[in-house]
Each structure stands twice: as C-alpha cells, then as structure tokens.
Amino acid sequence: MRYLPLTPDDRAQMLGVIGVDSIDALFVDVPASARREGFVELPHVAGELEVERELAGLAARNVAAGSVPFFCGAGAYRHHVPATVDHLIQRSEFLTSYTPYQPEIAQGTLQVLFEFQTQVAALTGMDVANASLYDGSTACAEAVMMTKRVTKRSRAVLSGGVHPHYVATTETLARAEGMDVVHLPAAVDAEDAVIAAIDAGTACVVVQTPNVFGTATDVTKIAEAAHAAGALLIVVTTEAVSLGLLKSPGEMGADIAVAEGQSIGNALNYGGPYVGLFACREKLVRQAPGRLCGETVDADGRRGFVLTLSTREQHIRRDKATSNICTNSGLCALAFSIHMSLLGEVGLRRLAALNHQRARELKAALEGVKGVEILTPRFFNEFAVKLTKPAARVVEDLAFKGVLGGVPFSRLAPGAGMDDVLLVAATETVTGEDIAAFQAALTEVMA
C-alpha cells in the first residue's frame, strides 16, 4: 500500500524490540467477542489510476456550475477565485499543519489568522472578529447562544428574512441550550417587522441583509429598538461580497455580525467546507465562541502571535466553556484571507459593483418574461421572482434545457406557502450570453 512505509522486515524487527511475537499480541485488550479475523466486506487496495477513474466517473454525473448558464445563490455563491489562492493554500506548511498549539513553529498560521481577524472586522465594520467558525449557519446559532450569556435572557427573535437553514440550525442548537426561538413569517421585505416582536425578555434580534429574498435593508432603526429594550442585534450576511457595496453591520449598529465567507476564496463544494465569519463589539469578546488569535512578543521582544483568551474554550473550561467548538475552518479562512488580500478595498468594491450590475441586467431580462414578477424591492446580486407556475417544477424544466436557473424558495421552506417564489442570483461569473440563454429558456418554460 503506497501510503504505508513499513516493510515486512521493519515490522518483524519492531515486534522484536517491543518483545512480542505477533501484531495480535498488541490487540490483546480487545474483548474476544469483538475480535475479527479477516477483512471487513469492502473492496481491497486500489491504485491511483483506479481511484481516479471511479471518482471522475462520479464527478461526471454532476452538472458543474461552470458548464452551464448558472444563477443559483440562496446562501452559496459562485465567484471567480484567482489561481494563486488555490495554489497557496496547498503549500505543505498550510495544508498539513494543525491548530497552532506551539506558536514558535506556527507563526505562519497565526499571522494569517491575525490578518484574517482584522480583515473580517473591517469588512463587517465591527471591532473584533474570531478566527472563524464552521459556516454562516453555525455562526448564527453561536451568536444567538452568546447573547443569552451576555444578557441573561433567553428569547431570540429571528426575522422572516433569515435564511431558513440558518433558522433551522439556530432553532436546533439554541433550543438545546434552553432558548426560546421565535421565527417570524417569511416575507420579502421582512426585517422591520422584528421591531414589534421585541420585549423585555428578548436577548437578541436576528436580521439578515441582503436577506434570503435578496432584499437589502438599513437596519439602523432595528438596532435602536433592540438596544432600547436591552437586547442585542445580530446581523447575518450570507453573501460576503455584498459588504463591498452596502453599509456594514457595524455602521448600522449591530452588536454581533455573522456571515458566510464562502463567497471570497472558496468554491461551491456542494455546501462545504465553508467558513463562518464572526465579529462583535470589543466589550463582548470574552463571551465569544471559537478561537481568537492575539498579538504578543517573544522572549527576545520580537512581535509574534498566539491563540489567546482560551479560558473561554472547552479544553480549559470543559463543561463551563462558551462553546464546545474545538477547530475553526482554518484552510477556508486562509483562502478567504488570500483572496481578500489580492482584492484589497479597490478590488472588493469593483467586484461588488460588478455583481450588482449583473443582477440588474438579469432583472431587466427577466421582468419582460410572461408569468414572471420581480418581488425584491432593493437588491445586491440576488432577487426573488414570483412565477405563475410552481418554482420547483420550473427549475427542473430549466435544468432539462441546460440552465441552472436559481433556487425555488420551497426547497428551503416547504411549509411557507411560497411555492411560486424563485430566488435568482447573478455574480461576476455570469455573462450576457448566460442571461440571454436564461431569458429564452424561462420564456419557453413559462409559456
């Protein structure tokens, strides 16, 4: 087996040093009833070529987004990632290292995390950010649970514009922690409705902008209402590129900003691995979940970086920890950070403007199609349309015509009574020809 360096001679010699006569002697503690002779019923060793053939065969049974006109979003976005990003994250020293437990020989990872935290704080307009969480949805759940620790209250109010998967994840995790999660009915322009639901027991209000229907909202008034009631405002962003065009959560008064960072540096990957961004006000940081990297000096006074404030974490606090999280999403955070360093503010703003322009072009192309009504009043790169046919069927028909034409809202929330709503997104990867093909296919399907 090509990954196993020991030879039969090595093994025999090593058993001799150990002082046993067979490998079985090292497994004596396994109860007799659980000892297995022979192999489990699975195929045996396979060469690279054989494995490549099988996997290439499976990959070929999927329709790659880049091979067709493609307009899916709803929490995962197809952007162009510079070749440099994927090359650099495959450097052995980044790819095959672990959590920087020994900072003297992990300064590469640690400096990247420090830079990442600064980039995320700047992007979200917040004071500080952590070293990443699993993804946007778990970051949202962690943020909600954090507000219980901060406010000693246990009611969370989620707007009807929050991504339904984020809602479901938050309900699952926060309810397990004893929180009362109130989710308002789904609506295209839903965010302001949370104000009426805030009461004296509310720990946090969760709004999303642009929301799952693509609607961009200034949440400043919601922040004021939350703060007046002693509650915290959590702002969710599932499309991080939007922050290159739209006001940041921090500017609008958010206490915690969480986002899906996949859009920057990371491929679609059928939903994972992604990278959860988590940022908050400085005064809240000791209640934050996940890892934090901080600056310090070494014995010679040189600047260096370490994991810090770890007394919040499970390996020290055990059952008193702020979260059970052990790892972050290191390599995805690195990809985010490299792509963001390449973009810089200039590139990010240009990229965001380009996304918005493409979405407007898409809107112009679709609003003339019979049976299609644009629902979203103000959007970044994604909007909702109402169809005169069930959206799920329309999407299947479009796929048959070779167009991946968005996400039916019913796929995210089957019980919401919005089976006729389709979410469509256009990023910089979409061309004029793609839009024309979508328009033509949709016209046929809706006829």
Partner 1 sequence: MSSSMNTVGRPTAPVATAGDIPPTLTGARGLLQDEALIFELGGWNKTGVDLPPAERPADDLAGLLRAEPIGLPGLSEPEAVRHYVRLSQKNHAIDLALYPLGSCTMKHNPRLNEKMARLAGFSDIHPLQPVSTVQGALALIDRLAHWLKTLTGMPAVAMTPKAGAHGELCGLLAIKAAHEAGGQGHRKTVLCPTSAHGTNPATAAFVGYSVVEIAQTDDGRVDLADLASKLGPDVAAIMVTNPNTCGLFERDIVEIARLTHEAGAYFYCDGANFNAIVGRVRPGDLGVDAMHINLHKTFSTPHGGGGPGAGPVVLSAALAPFAPAPWITHHADGFHLVEEAVGEATQAFGRMSAFHGQMGMFVRAYAYMRSHGADGLRQVAEDAVLNANYIKASLADVMSPAFPDGPCMHEALFDDSWLEGTGVTTLDFAKAMIDEGFHPMTMYFPLVVHGAMLIEPTETESKQELDRFVHALRLLAGAAKAGEVDRFKGAPFHAPLRRLDETLAARKPKLRWRAA
| Site for partner 1, residues 323 to 382, rule: CB under 8 A | 323-332, 334, 338, 340-351, 353-354, 356-357, 360, 377-378
Residue of the chain from 69, 78, 253, 372 that contacts partner 1 (CB under 8 A) = 78
Q: Residue 444 CB, nearest distance to partner 1 (Å)? A: 17
Q: Which residues of 209-221 are buried (b: 16+ CB within 10 A; e: fewer)?
A: bbbbbbbbbbbee
Residue located via tokens 């440099």: 84
Residue of the chain from 185, 201, 230, 271 that contacts partner 1 (CB under 8 A) = 271
Interface with partner 1, residue 428, by CB under 8 A:
yes
Q: Which stretch binds partner 1 (CB under 8 A): 119-127, 152-160, 185-193, 222-230?
A: 119-127
Interface with partner 1, residue 433, by CB under 8 A:
no
Residue of the chain from 186, 223, 245, 385 that contacts partner 1 (CB under 8 A) = 245
Interface with partner 1, residue 30, by CB under 8 A:
yes
Interface with partner 1 in residues 3-22 (CB under 8 A): 3-6, 10-11, 13-15, 17-20
Q: Residue 141 CB, nearest distance to partner 1 (Å)? A: 9
- CB distance 362 to 435 below 8 Å: yes
Q: Residue 150 CB, nearest distance to partner 1 (Å)? A: 17
Nearer to partner 1, 173 or 194 (CB): 173
Residue of the chain from 69, 132, 418, 437 that contacts partner 1 (CB under 8 A) = 132
Interface with partner 1 in residues 275-334 (CB under 8 A): 275, 285, 291-300, 302, 304-306, 308-311, 313-321, 323-332, 334
For residue 226, give both structure tokens. Answer: 């939350």
Largest CA distance in the chain: 82
At a CB cut-off of 8 Å and minimum separation 6, what does 382 contact?
73, 74, 210, 214, 239, 359, 376, 423, 424, 425, 426
Nearer to partner 1, 118 or 443 (CB): 118
- CB distance 188 to 215 below 8 Å: yes
Interface with partner 1, residue 97, by CB under 8 A:
yes
Helix H or strand E segment including 392 = helix 391-400
What is the 8-class DSSP label of residue 107?
H
Q: Which residues of 305-314 are buried (b: 16+ CB within 10 A; e: fewer)?
A: bbbeeeebbe
Nearest 10 degrees: Cα torsion 147, 213, 272, 149: 0
**How many positions of this chain bind partner 1 (CB under 8 A)?**
204
Helix H or strand E segment including 110 = helix 107-124
Q: Which stretch binds partner 1 (CB under 8 A): 134-142, 200-208, 224-232, 367-375?
A: 134-142
Integer Cα distance of 223 and 205 in angstroms:
9
Residue of the chain from 150, 156, 158, 173 that contacts partner 1 (CB under 8 A) = 173
Q: Residue 343 CB, nearest distance to partner 1 (Å)? A: 5
Nearer to partner 1, 101 or 370 (CB): 101
Residue of the chain from 109, 208, 211, 427 that contacts partner 1 (CB under 8 A) = 109
Q: Residue 47 CB, nearest distance to partner 1 (Å)? A: 8
Nearer to partner 1, 229 or 266 (CB): 266
Q: Report the DSSP pairing between strands 232-237 and 256-260.
A: parallel
Residue of the chain from 8, 200, 270, 447 that contacts partner 1 (CB under 8 A) = 270
For residue 407, give both structure tokens. Answer: 């996400």
Nearest 10 degrees: Cα torsion 149, 164, 74, 284: -10
Residue of the chain from 8, 96, 200, 370 that contacts partner 1 (CB under 8 A) = 96
Interface with partner 1 in residues 152-171 (CB under 8 A): 163, 165-166, 168-169, 171
Q: Residue 170 CB, nearest distance to partner 1 (Å)? A: 9
Interface with partner 1 in residues 183-212 (CB under 8 A): none
Backbone angles phi, psi at 55, to 5 degrees: -70, -40
Q: Which residues of 371-387 are buried (b: 16+ CB within 10 A; e: fewer)?
A: bbeebbeebbbbbbbbb
- CB distance 369 to 396 below 8 Å: no
Q: Report the DSSP pairing between strands 421-425 and 382-387.
A: antiparallel
Q: Residue 21 CB, nearest distance to partner 1 (Å)? A: 13
Nearer to partner 1, 319 or 447 (CB): 319
Interface with partner 1, residue 431, by CB under 8 A:
no
